[in-house]
Amino acid sequence: MRRLVLLRHAKAEAPDPVNDYDRQLAPRGRTAAAGMGEWMAGQGIVPDAVVCSGAARTRETWRLASRAFDPAPVVTYDDRIYEAAAETLFEVVQEQDSDVFTLLMVGHNPGMEMLVTLLAESGEPEVVDLFQKKFPTAAIAVLDFEDVPWAALEEKTAWLSAFVTPKHLGIKGE
């Protein structure tokens, strides 16, 4: 099985006075990022590789979430993820090495939400229902695929096995 885990960056500071790319996390975003990392580790979701947008808020989200793993998975920063459309994100996924079975992507909306819609054929009914309501900051979507190489993945072939938000987990950080 291949597993794609999508983590939307945690709550960031308002855009002024810095540009969007350089925005840091707000205090509640820092809490959420750390908590979502703990949730992943507690669920046994340990990425073999991480690909992360180069934006400051995604880098900080991963830095805080990664503290839940020992050792932290190797991360690659890829600016194509910043403000990317679902199709671009899918291309990044398809480029991953075949020895990666669990891939974590840390990115931005609306691309992350659109990628789930592009890839998920179905899922647990309560998970799909929660996903369809909102994809808030620091939310995590877990997509499971048959064991085919990343390059061979096709649209509408994933099972949405989990979707969690900080609020859903009782983390004061959404």
| Residue range 40-99, pLDDT digits in tens | 999 999 999 999 999 999 999 999 999 999 999 999 999 999 999 999 999 999 999 999
Give residues with Cβ within 8 angstroms of 77, minimum separation 6. 51, 52, 53, 54, 59
Would you say residue 172 lies in a domain? no
d(CA 154, CA 151): 9
For residue 135, tell me if it sits in a domain: yes
pLDDT score of 174 more than 70: no
Per-residue pLDDT tens digits for 123-146: 989 999 889 889 999 999 999 999
The tens digit of pLDDT for each residue in 6-35 reads: 999 999 998 777 789 999 999 999 999 999
Cα–Cα separations (whole angstroms), residue 71 to 4, 46, 48, 66, 74: 20, 10, 11, 9, 9
Q: How many CB atoms lie within 10 A of CB 112?
A: 24
CATH of the domain at 155: 3.40.50.1240
Q: Look at the chain and report how many structural domains it folds into.
A: 1
- Report CA 145 to chain centroid distance, whole Å: 16
Q: Is residue 85 part of a domain?
A: yes
Mean pLDDT throughout 96-124?
A: 96
Backbone conformation region of residue 112, classed left if phi is above 0, alpha if psi is from -120 to 50, else beta: alpha
d(CA 69, CA 48): 11
Give the burial class of 31: count Cβ atoms within 10 A of its Cβ; 0-12 exposed, 13-18 middle, 19 or more buried: buried
How far apart CA 130 and CA 125 sit, in angstroms, is 9
Q: Is 141 within a domain?
A: yes
DSSP state of 10: P
pLDDT of residue 173: 54
Residue 174 lies in a domain: no
